[in-house]
Amino acid sequence: MEFAQGESEGETEAGTQAGTQAGTQAGTQAATQAGTETGSGTGAEVEPGTARPGGRTARVRAAVLRAAGDVLAERGFAHLDLADVARRAGVGKTTVYRRWGTVTGLVTDLLSDMAQQSVPRTETGSLLGDLTANTRLVARTLADPRQGALFKAVIAAATCDAKAAEALHGFYAVRVEEWAPCVARAAARGEVPEGTDAHEVVRAASAPLYYRLLTTTLPLDEAAADRAATAAVAAARAGAYVRDA
């Protein structure tokens, strides 16, 4: 969802960490969490994108995910083809078909990898400061030419493909969960009413930026990010996001 400036993610919660070395490190970390890939001849079914940590497997995964992101950004979900991704990544198409199976399996793994690479939350001591850090990160991610186009492609795919939608929802669930503690701490400090739904506040902060990306040609700059954060804080303080009893 959000990525640090110059990582081209997205936010990046935009751009992603670029380069084979950065991709390899991210792939190694993700592969460790995913578990080991079942060896050939075991007869066990392998989930899309699962792999042994480190080594060639991690390098292949990083190259394939990078190529998939490039295709999404350049041509959109409708033109994402496993054979084309394999060619771009410089790996055998049999490897790609065996590990990811479908384009939606590949997109799911890409979004999972992006969520793991996303920049952690910033805690400034005030809700406005925290949400401003969030919205500026989101704005930088969506303003990045590659990352903005990638998110547009995945969002478009989610409107017509159930598995793509599930993958996108999973990505944002991870990013919202990362930033929700900022709102919980603000409630503990008395900045917002008790019972404020932290997840709703985080969603409200970035929502105007996605609307701006998808429906206008207006710039996604710091001014837009700051307005979004200020509006979300004002609504939260007024009790707009207090959960129903």
pLDDT of residue 32: 37
pLDDT of residue 245: 63
Query: Torsion angle of alpha carbons 134, 139, 140, 144, nearest 10°?
Result: 140
Neighbours of 127 (CB within 10 A): 24
pLDDT of residue 191: 98
HSE-CB of 24 using CA atoms within 13 angstroms: 8
Q: Which two tokens stand for residue 28?
A: 């190694």
65: left (phi over 0), alpha (psi -120 to 50) or beta: alpha
pLDDT of residue 226: 98
Is 81 strand, coil or helix?
A: coil
From first to last of its 245 residues, what are the pLDDT tens digits of the chain? Answer: 454 433 443 444 433 333 434 344 444 443 333 333 333 333 333 344 444 456 888 999 999 999 999 999 999 999 999 999 999 999 999 999 999 999 999 999 999 898 888 878 889 999 999 999 999 999 999 999 999 999 999 999 999 889 899 999 999 999 999 999 999 999 999 999 999 999 999 999 999 999 999 999 999 999 999 999 999 999 999 999 999 86
Interior angle at CA 176, CA 173 and CA 178, nearest 5:
105
pTM: 0.74
